[in-house]
Amino acid sequence: MAQDALRASELKYRRLFEAAKDGIIILDAETGKIVDVNPFLINLLGYSHEEFISKKIWEIGFFSDIISNKENFLELKEKRYIRYEDLPLKTVDGRRIDVEFVSNVYQEGAHYVIQCNIRDITDRKRAADTIAAERERLAVTLRSIGDGVITTDTKGNIDIMNNVAEELCGWSHNEAHGKPLTSVFNIINENTRKPHENPVDKVLATGEIIELANHTVIISKDGV
C-alpha cells in the first residue's frame, strides 16, 4: 500500500511538472548538475532536453546572469531561497526574454535538490514599459497646458498635477501625489467663504462633466 501511495504521489508530481506553465529546472544540490527540466522551459528557450541534462548549471551560458560559476551556485545553495524579479535570458535563436527566477532547496529522499522556477514576464514587462511611456507623454502634455490640471484615481486621490495647478494650489506634484483631492484642491465660495463640495465626488458618482459655480476661489496651501 505504501509503495502504491508513493507511486501515485510521484505520478501526480510528474504530471504537474510536465504541465507547468513556468519553466522548472531540478538541480542536484551537491554537484550543481541538472537532473531534470520540464517541457515549458525547453520550449521557452529552444534547447533540447539533452542539452540540459547532466550539465552543471553554470555551464549553461544563458544562465550566466544568475549562476555564472560554482561559487554562485554554492551561494544559491546556502541561502536556500533566492528570488530575482527581473532577469534577462537569451533563447537559442538569440532573442532576449525577461524572466522572474525563484529557487528553493528541499529534500528528496536521502539527498537534497534545488528547484528553480523560471517565469516568462516579457509581455508583462513590455506592457508596464508601454504604460510608463504613455504616462510620461501625458505628463509632458499636461506640463505644456496653460490651465491647471489635476488627475485623480477612482478613489479621488491625486495622480498627476501639472505646473499651473502646483502654482494655484501651492503644492508640488510630489507633495500632492496620493493625497485626497480635497486636501490639496481647497475651494470655497468667495462671498460666503463656505467650502464647496468636492467636484470629483460628483463626477465619480454621475459620470458627468461638472462646472464650478461662480465666485469659486482656491485657497492655496499657505492659506491665500
Residues 161-215 pLDDT 10s? 888 888 888 888 899 899 988 888 888 777 888 877 777 777 778 877 777 777 7
Closest CA to 29 of 78, 79, 77, 82: 77
Domains detected in the chain = 2-120 (3.30.450.20), 145-219 (3.30.450)
Q: Which contacts qualify for 125-129: CB closer than 8 Å, 24 or more apart?
A: 125/86, 125/98
pLDDT number for residue 107: 83
pLDDT number for residue 210: 76
Residue 223 has pLDDT above 70, yes or no: no
The amino acid that residue 191 corresponds to is N
* HSE-CB of 164 using CA atoms within 13 angstroms: 12
pLDDT number for residue 39: 92
pLDDT number for residue 54: 79
Distance between CA atoms of residues 65 and 216, nearest Å: 59
pTM as predicted: 0.61
Q: Comparing 74 with 27, which gets the higher pLDDT?
A: 27
Confidence of residue 6 (pLDDT cuts 50, 70, 90): low
Residues 77-110 pLDDT 10s? 777 888 888 888 888 888 888 999 888 888 877 8
Confidence of residue 117 (pLDDT cuts 50, 70, 90): very high
Distance between CA atoms of residues 149 and 145, nearest Å: 8
Closest CA to 72 of 103, 51, 49: 103
Query: Do the beta carbons of residue 101 and residue 116 sit within 8 Å?
Result: yes
Residue in the structure block whose three cell numbers are 531540478:
26
Cell, residue 69: 560559476
Q: Give the dihedral sign, CA 157/161/164/167.
A: positive
